[in-house]
Structure 1
Amino acid sequence: MISIRRTRAPVIALLTATLAVTACAGDPNRRAKIGGGVGTAVGGAIGSLLGDHSTTNTAIGMAVGALTGAGVGHYMDRQKAELNEKLAEQQAADQLSITELGNNTLQVGVASDASFPVDSANLTPTAQNTFNSIANVLKDYDKTAIHVVGFTDSTGSTQHNLELSENRAQSVAQFLGSRGVSSQRLLTWARGETEFVASNDTETGRAQNRRVAIIIKPIVEGQEKQAFTAPPNLGNPQFNSP
């Protein structure tokens, strides 16, 4: 169970929330129906769309600590530098990328093909080594919220792709949790076959669209809620026209 603790206060249980997705492969509006993604808190049977619960978000922020002033940028810069150092080999092999999204937010984009067998949510041994390195950095920078976002290409049905992206995001988040990243900081989002970064007309493009993104947001004092709201659209507008 996910729990949030204030100093010397009772545990605050997160409310369960369910997002029903109704779409089929033949529906021309299927992207719009699932484009917002499914958001879930990780760590147990209780899930919540945390972005819609400001009180809960603020409580989590207060529990893990918050950053202030100019220290926010410095903190995130140090974290990015350490991620670059620990993951240099994977970046050189084009297995992942580390970028800035603005507002002191970082993105670690990991190729699904380098992480999972085909149509599976089980992490490969190689991927476990990669995510272990990521976890070792994230657990040392605990004043951040960690969003794990799953994506697929457009092959297969909408529902299957949504479920696969959700399962893969959950698999990564649970692995990070098992390596010491607090479950209070972890959220997963399933975006299925939306937010493409390349064309689905080629195998190379489809491979780029099959991915998992780790979005790292600083928890800023007085703005704790923002760290736990849904990540922005992570696709390339060129490949996501209506």
Structure 2
Amino acid sequence: MFTPSRLLIAATAVALLAGCASQNPYDNQPPSSNKTAKYGGLGALAGAAAGALINHDNRGKGALIGAAVAGAAGAGYGYYADKQEAELRQSMQGTGVEVQRQGDQIKLIMPGNITFATDSAEIVSNFYAPLNNLGTSFKQFNQNSIEIVGFTDSTGSRQHNMDLSQRRAQSVANYLTAQGVDGTRLSTRGAGPDQPIASNATADGRAQNRRVEVNLRPLPAQPPQQ
């Protein structure tokens, strides 16, 4: 039976450890680090203790229920991003698209040799398959925003490159919305020759700089309904 004293003790136990469990699991961590299990585990311990207190007649059952609920809550967005990252890595295998994890953010880097022809914003045919896979993933995992950024090398005028990179980013966004991805989650930006990842002094370096990046981040928190 749930007596007031048991409920109070259980609530206190969860509240004390919830602060630890609800910390961002990826603050200031390198891409290879994963704290989801750590914080989810702390939350699970809190939940187990609370569950055992609530269900005095069957402490084992109460502990299991409490651990499951609090553990999932403690893992939070980190657990969600782990699942999405794994799915993206699998679906992008062999496509030339690189998947990176940077804290709570997932970044997809699409090199110029699979995306657009030189000085064009028309999607090339071998780019359709990766984009179709992305569209499927973005519809399945719909709890993050999608920023699409176009880049160019330094050849040509800066204004031309800024315009071209914006048109390329918009082409990717248009294709994804045509595949059923919610357009309200999408934003586009043209970075032109800014933020090169290789030297523009060589042909290989310029090819690396001609790219499209897709950044996935948690959706901003919604204000409570009045």
Normalising by structure 1, what TM-score? 0.60
- Structure 2 unaligned residues grouped into runs of 5+: 1-72
CA distance in 2, matches of 1:217, 1:180: 19
2:168 paired residue number: 168
Query: Are the counterparts in 1 of residues 145 and 185 from structure 2 also a CA contact under 8 Å?
Result: yes
Query: Residues 87-98 of structure 1 correspond to what in structure 2 (within 5 A)?
Result: 87-90=92-95, 95-98=96-99
CA distance in 1, matches of 2:131, 2:161: 22
Query: Are the counterparts in 2 of residues 72 and 220 from structure 1 also a CA contact under 8 Å?
Result: no
Q: 2:86 aligns with which of 69, 78, 81?
A: 81
> Shift of residue 113 of structure 1?
2.2
CA distance in 1, matches of 2:173, 2:160: 20
CA distance in 1, matches of 2:92, 2:84: 12
Structure 1 runs, 4 residues or longer, greater than 2 Å off: 220-223
> Shift of residue 69 of structure 1?
5.2
Query: Residues 80-229 of structure 1 correspond to what in structure 2 (within 5 A)?
Result: 80-90=85-95, 95-102=96-103, 104-219=104-219, 221=221
1:42 paired residue number: none
| Larger helix proportion of the pair | 2
Normalising by structure 2, what TM-score? 0.64
Q: The residue matched to 2:194 in structure 1 has which SS? A: coil
Q: What letter matches 1:77 in structure 2?
A: D
> Shift of residue 218 of structure 1?
1.3
Deviation sequence 1:92-138 (CA, Å, 0-9, x none): xxx22100122x10000001221111111011111011111111101
CA distance in 1, matches of 2:80, 2:141: 8
Q: The residue matched to 1:129 in structure 2 has which SS? A: helix
| Identical-residue share of aligned pairs (%) | 38
> Shift of residue 221 of structure 1?
3.4
Equivalences, count = 152
CA distance in 1, matches of 2:118, 2:220: 39
CA distance in 2, matches of 1:172, 1:110: 11
Query: Are the counterparts in 1 of residues 92 and 98 from structure 2 also a CA contact under 8 Å?
Result: no
**Residues 184/174 of structure 1: CA separation in 2 closer, same or farther (3 Å cut):** same
Q: The residue matched to 2:87 in structure 1 has which SS? A: helix
- Structure 1 unaligned residues grouped into runs of 5+: 1-67, 224-242
CA distance in 2, matches of 1:132, 1:200: 31
Higher-Rg structure is 2
CA distance in 1, matches of 2:170, 2:74: 33
> Shift of residue 220 of structure 1?
5.2
